Amino acid sequence: MVFAALAALLVPAWANAANSLQKGACFAGWQQELYSSQGADESLEQLAAAGATHVAIVVTRYQENFDSTDIIQNESTPSDESILHAAKKARATGLKVMIKPHIDVINIGPADNVCWRADIGFYDDGDWDKWFKGYKYFILHYAELAAEAGADIFCVGTELSFAAQKTDRWIDLISEVRKVFPGKLVYAANWDNYRNIGFWDALDYAGIDAYFPLSYRKNPSVTELVLGWEKWKNDLRNFYRAIKKPIIFTEIGYASTPDAAMTPWKGGETGNPDLEIQKRCYEAFFHTMWGCPWLKGAYFWRWAPSPYAGGENNRQFTPQNKPALEVLKKYYSQQP
């Protein structure tokens, strides 16, 4: 009886899918002209060949500290020309395009108290005013660029958990973005913060960067990982019923390390490569979540702008040149 129940859980959800899905990946690099390179072009061709229908082109600007009011670009920020090049190339391969701006904090602090974009925020209204003025300039610039690039979707923010509490400011920003960008809009909430967003009604999709922990131990089986998804699946279904807005996983991914299912947000900085656990995590996601009627797509983190990325000795998130890529191809090639 138990075996039969577990077997039922492993029936692929995509088998009952009724609507087309955004079969995506996050195309992310941190050099000014990398997106214009031949390697980046070849990488986008490989993504399309894997069955993807969408790509999220990531562009990152920076601030010095979590409480800095200035948002800057530097040598790690892709140039506008390279973004336009990547978008044009993606569309030529048949991929639809999302432009997904990020902010990274340069001075992240000590190891026991790391600050990141979710911590960006202030306790003084004047500082909030300064930051949102700069943030609006930053977002409207890329919204206009997304319109020029013919992008289909634009992401108005990513994982800004503290700043996202300022609901009225976001509603105003989204209204301004709609004046310059004609496509669909999404915000990418961190996996532990999506229920705290107060402006979902102003958007077309509820985006979640879906780094949900699936296991409390290393080396879990696919069946254990499928069971690990069940709680999150129920929570997300109830969330959808409450907001009545389609959900997309604006990011989802797993490093090639033994603890990938325990702490999916970690990027494989240490330890031995474990390509098998990454593959199992991909399998569990597709078996459990793919084809849920309220989930309209997923963007795997990350697809590197090089056809030679990944490989058997790589601990990082990319599925390129790894067994996980075969899982991706298997499900992305399914119809619809």
Q: What is the pLDDT of residue 218?
A: 86
User: What mean pLDDT is reported for the chain?
Assistant: 92
The stretch 230-234 carries a mean pLDDT of 95
pLDDT of 12 above 50: no
Residue 219 — pLDDT band, cuts 50, 70, 90? confident
pLDDT of 244 above 80: yes
**Maximum Cα interatomic distance, the chain, rounded to a whole number of Å:** 62
Q: How far is the C-alpha of 122 from the C-alpha of 141, rounded, in Å? A: 24
The stretch 215-224 carries a mean pLDDT of 92
Cα 10 to Cα 221, 229, 285, 329: the distances in Å are 12, 12, 10, 18
CB of 170 closer than 8 Å to CB of 157 = yes
Q: What is the pLDDT of residue 6?
A: 42
Q: Is residue 258 part of a domain?
A: yes
Q: Is residue 102 part of a domain?
A: yes
Q: What CATH number is attached to the domain comprising 45?
A: 3.20.20.80
pLDDT of 75 above 90: yes
Residue 19 — pLDDT band, cuts 50, 70, 90? very low
The stretch 253-270 carries a mean pLDDT of 90
pLDDT of 258 above 70: yes
Q: Is residue 241 part of a domain?
A: yes
CB of 264 closer than 8 Å to CB of 220 = no
Strand partners of residue 209: 190, 251
Spatial CB neighbours of 118, under 8 Å, sequence gap ≥ 6: 159, 160, 161, 162, 190, 193
- What confidence tens digit (pLDDT) does each residue in 294-316 have? 999 999 999 999 999 999 999 99
Residue 148 — pLDDT band, cuts 50, 70, 90? very high
Q: Is residue 25 part of a domain?
A: yes
Q: Is residue 255 part of a domain?
A: yes
- What confidence tens digit (pLDDT) does each residue in 82-132 have? 999 999 999 999 999 999 999 999 998 877 678 899 999 999 999 999 999
CB of 302 closer than 8 Å to CB of 253 = yes
Q: Is residue 6 part of a domain?
A: no
Cα 181 to Cα 61, 109, 169, 325: the distances in Å are 20, 36, 18, 33
pLDDT of 18 above 60: no
For the chain, what is the domain count? 1
pLDDT of 54 above 90: yes
Q: Is residue 108 part of a domain?
A: yes
Instruction: Domain of residue 238: give its range.
Output: 19-331
Q: Is residue 13 part of a domain?
A: no
